[in-house]
Amino acid sequence: MACLTLLQFFRHEKCYVAKGKTPLFNFDLLKNKPFSLGCLLVLLVYSTSSSFFLVFALFLQNGLGFNAFDAGLIFAPASIGFVLSSLNAPYWIKRFGGKAIMTGGLLYMLSFIALIVAVSALLPAISSITASLFVIVPILILLGYGQGFVMTPLLNIVLAFVNVRFAGMASGVIATLQQIGAAFGVAIVSMLVQWHFNDMDTLSFVTYQNAFVHSMLYNVMAAFIVFYLLKSLHRK
* CB distance 77 to 140 below 8 Å: yes
Task: Look at residue 142 and tell me if it is in a domain.
Answer: yes
Overall number of domains in the chain: 1
∠ CA 4-42-224 to the nearest 5 degrees?
110
**pLDDT tops 70 at residue 128:** no
**Cα distance between residue 57 and residue 33, in whole Å:** 37
Considering the entire predicted model, what is its pTM? 0.86
**What is residue 68's predicted lDDT score, i.e. its pLDDT?**
85
DSSP 115: H
Tell me which amino acid residue 50 is: S
In a domain, 16, yes or no: no
Asked whether residue 14 is domain-assigned, the answer is: no
> Could you tell me if residue 105 is inside a domain?
yes
In the three-class reduction of DSSP (H, G, I as helix; E, B as strand; rest coil), residue 160 is classed as coil
Q: What percent of the chain has pLDDT over 70?
A: 91
Look up residue 28 and give its DSSP letter.
G
Give the C-alpha separation, 74 to 60, whole Å: 9
| Residue from 67, 75, 59, 70 nearest 205 by CA | 59
The pLDDT of residue 163 is 81
Which residue range forms the structural domain that includes residue 55? 39-235
Q: Using the predicted structure, report yes or no on whether residue 125 has a pLDDT greater than 70.
A: no
Question: For the segment 92-114, what is each residue's pLDDT rounded down to a tens digit?
Answer: 888 887 788 889 899 999 999 99
- Domain membership of residue 147 (yes or no) is yes
pLDDT for residue 2? 72
DSSP letter for each residue of 32-56: -HHHHHHHHHHHHHHHHHHHHHHHH
Looking at residue 129, what is its pLDDT?
64
Residue 215 neighbours by CB under 8 Å, 6+ apart: 51, 55, 189, 192, 193
Segment 162-177, tens digit of pLDDT: 888 888 888 888 998 9
Residue 65 has pLDDT above 70, yes or no: yes
Q: How far apart are CA 218 and CA 34, in angstroms?
A: 24
DSSP assignment string, 58-89: HIIIIIS---HHHHHHHHHHHHHHHHHHHHHH
For position 182, which CATH number holds?
A: 1.20.1250.20
Cα Rg of the chain, angstroms: 20
Give me the pLDDT at residue 185, please.
94
Residue pair 142/111 in contact by the 8 Å Cβ criterion: yes
**Does 33 fall in a domain?**
no
Q: Do the domain assignments include residue 162?
A: yes
Distance in angstroms (rounded) separating the CA atoms of residues 40 and 58: 27
pLDDT for the residue numbered 154: 85
How far apart are alpha carbons 147 and 152 in whole angstroms? 8
Share of the chain above pLDDT 90, in %: 33
- Residue 47 covered by a domain: yes
Residue 20 pLDDT > 60: yes
pLDDT tens digits, residue range 169-217? 888 889 989 999 999 999 999 999 888 788 676 778 888 888 899 999 9
Q: What is the pLDDT of residue 112?
A: 95
- Mean per-residue pLDDT, 85-90: 86
Question: In this model, does residue 122 exceed pLDDT 90?
Answer: no
Please determine, for residue 16, whether its predicted confidence score (pLDDT) is greater than 80: no
Q: Is the pLDDT of residue 127 over 60?
A: no
Give CA separation, 216 vs 119, 152, 157, 219, in Å: 11, 23, 27, 5
Mean pLDDT of 34-45: 91
